[in-house]
Amino acid sequence: MMEKALKKQLRLEALARRDALPVVWRIEASLQMADMAAAIPVEPGQIVSAFWPMRSEVDIRPLMFSLREKGARLCLPAILDKTTIVFRELVRGAELVQMSYGTAGPPEDAEVLDPSLMLIPLAAFDARGHRIGYGAGYYDRAISRLHDKGLDPRMIGIAFDCQEVPLVPDEPHDVIIPEILTESGLRRFGDA
């Protein structure tokens, strides 16, 4: 139980640091990160999951559009119930609908896709690639389902440098993110 309490504290502290970043600085850093992401190889037709930014998250829309220009098929998470997210295709010009947590995404009739590259939002991370999400475990379960299907997507966490913490407590269900993109660049951990 101590791990959960410590994770909650680390999450709150990291998000407070992120919230304190000036809006204009966050926009500039987001654009800088989109430029850095140009080095991420994407095959035409490759399925890439992203996320529509909420609150003070990195605005990855410029990065998404850059990947789309390289031929990627984009998808965004949609919460189906208290435990499940799926990734619905984001089609240029299609209307977005309001989703949970104040974000937006493709409507129910959008095609559900299995990404081979996942851009993952996070609240905090450490130098080992361990992440703290927002606490609901949606991404951990979605990644586990992809693995159960025999898929092994490339996972890149998206955050600002200020969200790094000294050490994320390990829990058995945690998914380690082998790469994190921040305004300082793309960092790889372990065997990535």
Q: Per the annotation, does 157 bind a ligand?
A: no
Q: Per the annotation, does 92 bind a ligand?
A: no
Q: Per the annotation, does 78 bind a ligand?
A: no
Q: Per the annotation, does 177 bind a ligand?
A: no
Each residue's pLDDT tens digit in the chain (192 positions)?
A: 588 899 999 999 999 999 999 999 999 999 999 998 878 889 999 999 999 998 999 999 999 989 999 999 999 999 888 888 999 999 988 888 887 766 778 989 999 999 999 999 999 999 999 999 987 888 989 999 999 999 999 999 999 999 999 999 987 777 789 999 999 999 998 654
In sequence order, the 6+-apart residues with CB closer than 8 A to the CB of 33 are 58, 60, 63, 158, 181, 182, 183
Question: What pTM, to 2 d.p., does this model score?
Answer: 0.93
Q: Per the annotation, does 11 bind a ligand?
A: yes
CATH number at residue 76: 3.40.50.10420
Q: Per the annotation, does 134 bind a ligand?
A: yes
State the total domains in the chain. 1
Q: Per the annotation, does 101 bind a ligand?
A: no
How many angstroms separate the CA atoms of 103 and 177, rounded?
A: 23
- Residue 152 sits in which domain range? 2-188
How many angstroms separate the CA atoms of 151 and 153, rounded?
A: 6
Q: Per the annotation, does 10 bind a ligand?
A: yes
Q: Per the annotation, does 133 bind a ligand?
A: yes
